[in-house]
Structure 1
Amino acid sequence: MPATPAWPPRSAPRLFVPDTLSQEAPVSIAEAQAHYLLRVMRVGVGDTVILCDDQTGEWAAQVTDTGKKALVLTPQHRLREREAVPDFWLCAALLKKDRFDLLLEKGTELGAARIVPVLARRCVADRLNPDRARAHIVEAAEQCARTALPDLTPVTKLDSLLRDWPANRRLFFADEAGGEPARASFAGEPGPAALLTGPEGGWDDAERALIRAHPQARPITLGPRILRGETAAIAATALWMGVAGDWS
């Protein structure tokens, strides 16, 4: 006797939507998302789509109406509550576009609650398209089945970041000049945390001195090798999640 297939199917498309979801409350999907469902995934009336709203969690929805450029999805029942997110901010100096895209993607997958793009003196890039960046975050969350999206802040200058830093949050500073081993530092200071990683050209002496002088800064080393900006951000975020986050 064949096994009963799982419902909803694992192959069901996943989408984040701006609407607050509730049972039997229809949601209209248009433009790019409608094109993806209708033309790429070839969904039709009766098919299942998984919806998330970054508020109430994850829902199994049924396609109840389709048109040439839009469709209607009706949530049937909630599959999961919105996930609990570790209180971890990834503060990363701006990088070249493709490298910062990777950082946004992996920071989202790894579970960062907030991503803060930082402008430093040696940054190759000096701006970030927020809509494009947000789209990368949403796509990464959809692909790895997250039910929560990290908050993406506007680009922040380093001095402004430090001036307005909250007094209750440790700022682990990935410093190529050295510091305490990252694992020991993460384990020794639990609680609200953030990681600060640098640009392609590294921090200059004045920036390093400014960061190290901050009362919440904790200089850390990520080992004996020099890492690219995106590698440092990804590796240190993964290590924090394993030591002080929700991987344990």
Structure 2
Amino acid sequence: MATSTRLFVTQDLTPDQPVVATSDQAHYLGRVLRLQAGASVILFNGRDGEWSATLSEIGRSTGLFTLTEQIRPQIGSPDLWLAFAPVKKTQTDFIVQKATELGVSRLIPLLTERTQSERVKTDRLRATAIEAAEQSERLDIPEISEPVRLDRLILEWPKERTLFVCAEAGTAIPLAEAAQARKSGAVGFVTGPEGGFSAAELDFMHQSPLVLPVGLGPRILRAETAALAALAVWQAVAGDGISRPPRRG
């Protein structure tokens, strides 16, 4: 494939059905990239794999794609959740972008005593995740949950899913060691806000039999660093870190 233009669509991808571009996609293709009818693009929808397509029509706010062939069959991402306390807007977008690149399957904005933003725009987070998936060769989009308070998250956490809490202090198992022992199954990580969890929140979490505190080393990490370090370690040790992206060209 000579093109790097890759778009997420919601429509089913079947050879006999044209795919309609959104107005934003049409603007991006026609006005930003200045593509003409006949240009090659790549489409995916999180269900039907990845397809090469031709931009058969392009206008100011409309566009139409014609599928040519399937490039890759659908492959799911690891069953990996991240519950994170939103920070300032730019850093929150950064967490969503990089967590998507690292293969997280579900993102859960977490409201804690020290969470800086009680108002989370999940539509903006989804748009950020879509853009990151388009650029990182993912075949799916992580689910973006509505914000949830910490106590509710712990009380409603699925019993079959390992719950790792990234604790900046206190007794904890090194994450690489915990990942090596776990190796498979559904898992989730909880990371705190700037300033960390309160003492009451830590006590509450430690009372849950589902919680396993894990450590990320001897230094205090920023909230966004902790979230991405946890995902990177897990993927490298127990996730899909041994896989390689598809070859283009």
Q: Which residue of 2 aligns with 1:70?
A: 62
Q: CA deviation at 1:82?
A: 2.0
Q: 20, 23, 29: which one pairs with 2:15?
A: 23
Percent pairwise identity: 40
Q: Are residue 102 (structure 1) and residue 94 (structure 2) matched?
A: yes
Q: Which residue of 1 aligns with 2:245?
A: none
Q: Which residue of 1 aligns with 2:236?
A: 242
Q: 177, 181, 196: which one pairs with 2:169?
A: 177
Q: Aligned letter for 2:186?
A: P
- Note the alpha carbon deviations across 1:82-141, whole angstroms, 9 max, x for none: 223111111111211111110000000000011111100011111211111111000001
Unaligned 5+ residue runs, structure 1?
A: 1-7
Q: CA deviation at 1:143?
A: 0.9
SS of residue matched to 1:50: strand
Q: Which residue of 1 aligns with 2:202?
A: 208
Aligned residue pair count? 240
In 2, the alpha carbon distance for the partners of 1:149 and 1:30 equals: 17
Assess if the C-alpha contact under 8 Å between 2:20 and 2:63 holds in 1. Answer: yes
After superposition, residues 78-117 of structure 1 pair within 5 angstroms as 78-117=70-109
- Note the alpha carbon deviations across 1:202-247, whole angstroms, 9 max, x for none: 1001100111111111001100000001000001100000111011
Assess if the C-alpha contact under 8 Å between 1:13 and 1:41 holds in 2. Answer: no
Q: Which residue of 2 aligns with 1:226?
A: 220
SS of residue matched to 2:92: helix
Q: 166, 188, 194: which one pairs with 1:194?
A: 188
CA RMSD of aligned residues (A): 1.1
In 2, the alpha carbon distance for the partners of 1:155 and 1:84 equals: 24
Q: CA deviation at 1:183?
A: 0.7
Q: Which residue of 2 aligns with 1:4?
A: none
Assess if the C-alpha contact under 8 Å between 1:24 and 1:76 holds in 2. Answer: no
- Note the alpha carbon deviations across 1:17-65, whole angstroms, 9 max, x for none: 1111111311111311110001111111111111111111111111112
> Structure 2 vs 1, CA of residues 142 and 60 (structure 1 numbering), >3 Å: closer, same or farther?
same
Unaligned 5+ residue runs, structure 2?
A: 243-249
In 1, the alpha carbon distance for the partners of 2:57 and 2:83 equals: 43
In 2, the alpha carbon distance for the partners of 1:91 and 1:61 equals: 36
SS of residue matched to 2:69: strand
